[in-house]
Chain A
Amino acid sequence: MNRPDPDCPAGGPGPVDLGALAPRRAFLDRLPAIGRQAADRPPEDPLLEAARSFVPVAAALAILAWIAGGSAIDASGAITLAAGAPDEQRAFVALGGVRVGEAP
């Protein structure tokens, strides 16, 4: 509990034994299978990857236009777009008063 820690200054609090929080044996035993599953997955389509980076911009523009009262804007389409965006950008969309579902 109080072993010296070469990575910390002298006089500082020593480490607490956190060993009980290590991943469970059953999980560690599953890792090779997870590795195989990951290796078998095809890499993401580069086109889809590029589209993903465009999604937040498209969603933000659509929402701004919707807030401005544009009748031709399909808000649900914007929500669908925004659902693929990272959390930070979905928060921006939420600022527009639109509830966005959990991303897939």
Chain B
Amino acid sequence: MPDASTRTAPASLVRRAQAGEAQAVADLVQRCARAVHAIALAHLGRIADAEDTTQTVLLVAIERLGSCRDPDRFEAWLFAIARNRARRALIRRRLRDVIGIDGPDDAAPGEVDPDTRRALIRALGALSTVQREVVLLHDLEGYTHAEIAGAIRISEEASRQHLSRARRTLRAQLAEEIP
């Protein structure tokens, strides 16, 4: 799980990137990629698709960085782009195939247990999109409820409730898969 000091983007870094400082742009990409990936995965349910969309989102966001008027709310701005691009990618994919969230496994050989990954992907499919966003940001990326609330524009209480329900559902789903 990423360290709290490196996973979010401070406003000063955003401002330096907006000023065109190449190193700041690179640092921004590095810091935000995992969280964008979590948002994309919450919508797309496939690791490879989430990676493709993450790359697109990062490039589009950097290109349009000038339109982020409030660097203190950079993540909310970035995640809005991520959601929009993920939805577009989902529409394109639905046109392309009808496999859906329970698609083929795309894990790199030897990296993780493919059965575990498949089971988790299937279990995530039982959650709502916002529950997937919250549980992935919190339990995978280490975001606090306060950070999630600011980034996806829900209250901290709503974030807690979504997390609690998501975990309960995931446990139930996984218990069915692995009795």
Closest A residue, CB atoms, query B168: A13
CB distance from B74 to the nearest CB of A (A): 14
Which B residues touch A21, using CB under 8 A? 41, 47, 117, 120-121, 124, 136, 140
Chain B CB within 8 A of A69 CB: no
Interface residues on A, range: 35 or more
Q: Are B26 and A35 in contact (CB under 8 A)?
A: yes
Chain B CB within 8 A of A95 CB: no
Q: Are B51 and A23 in contact (CB under 8 A)?
A: yes
CB distance from B110 to the nearest CB of A (A): 10
User: Number of B residues whose C-beta is below 8 Å from A?
Assistant: 57
Partner of A31, one of B33, B91, B112: B33
Q: Are A18 and B139 in contact (CB under 8 A)?
A: yes
Chain B CB within 8 A of A4 CB: no
CB distance from A89 to the nearest CB of B (A): 11
Chain A CB within 8 A of B65 CB: yes
CA separation between A35 and B36, bound complex, in Å? 14
In B73-112, the 8 Å CB interface with A consists of: 84, 87-88, 91-92, 107-108, 111-112
Which B residues touch A9, using CB under 8 A? 160, 164
Partner of B113, one of A20, A46, A102: A20
Closest A residue, CB atoms, query B142: A7
Which A residues touch B67, using CB under 8 A? 44, 49
Closest A residue, CB atoms, query B67: A49
Q: Are B22 and A39 in contact (CB under 8 A)?
A: yes
Using an 8 Å CB-CB cutoff, how does the interface string of A1-39 with B read, 1 for contact, 0 for none? 000000111001111101111111111101110111111
Apart from A21-B47, A21-B121, A23-B54, 20 more pairs, CB < 8 Å: A9-B160, A9-B164, A13-B164, A16-B171, A18-B136, A18-B140, A20-B117, A23-B51, A24-B108, A28-B33, A31-B29, A35-B28, A35-B30, A36-B22, A38-B62, A39-B26, A39-B62, A41-B63, A44-B66, A87-B88
Which residues does A use to contact B, with CB under 8 Å? 7-9, 12-16, 18-28, 30-32, 34-41, 43-44, 46, 49, 86-87, 102-103
Which residues does B use to contact A, with CB under 8 Å? 20, 22-23, 25-30, 33-34, 37, 41, 47, 50-51, 54-55, 58-59, 62-67, 84, 87-88, 91-92, 107-108, 111-113, 116-117, 120-121, 123-124, 135-136, 138-140, 144-145, 160, 163-164, 167-168, 170-171, 174
